[in-house]
Amino acid sequence: MSDTTAIPPAAPPVRRTARAEELPARLFARLAASRRPVRVVSIFSFVVAILVFAAGAFADRPLWSPFVMLTVFYACLWLTPAIYLFRYSRAIDHALSSPGAPAIERVLRQQLRYWRFAGGYAVVHLLLMIATAIKTSL
């Protein structure tokens, strides 16, 4: 005899979000202090990306030359973290204007995205440097 009674699925865990008054005030003070430097670095990265792109676009070389393609690629490397940092600073603005756990989670998620890119870029850059050093030493 087989027992065919179905076992009900487990209920999803209840996710309790913290209210603004439950979050430490120091957290928001630190976010407020980091908002301006994050925004400044983001704007600086945008400006550098535009300048690098302009250097490639206005070069006295054909559009499909390796130099122009390399400068466009390098401009994109400056533009990507600028976008991540700008989104991070906007998330900080949102967390300061409407404090709460969801806003803090968004800030941390944007910060994580930036550091994932930065870490991946650093690893690829180090591997390219090691490969170049090995190739030149041979």
Every domain of the chain and the residues it spans: 24-137
| pLDDT score for 61 | 74
pLDDT at residue 5 in the model: 65
What average pLDDT does the chain have? Answer: 84
Residue-wise pLDDT tens digits, 60-95:
777 677 878 888 888 888 899 999 999 999 999 999
The Cβ-side half-sphere exposure at 59, using a 13 Å CA radius, reads 18
Q: Which two tokens stand for residue 3?
A: 């027992």
Does 123 score more than 90 pLDDT? yes
pLDDT on residue 135: 85
- pLDDT (tens digit per residue) in 10-37: 656 655 555 556 678 888 888 899 999 9
pLDDT band at 107 (very low <50, low <70, confident <90, very high): very high
Neighbours of 75 (CB within 10 A): 20
Percent of the chain with pLDDT over 70: 83
Which phi-psi region, left, alpha or beta, contains residue 100 (left: φ > 0; alpha: ψ -120 to 50)?
Answer: left
Classify burial at 83, counting beta carbons within 10 Å of its beta carbon; exposed 0-12, middle 13-18, buried 19 or more.
middle
Tell me if 49 sits within 8 A of 74, measured CB to CB.
Answer: no
Q: Say what the pLDDT of residue 18 is.
A: 54
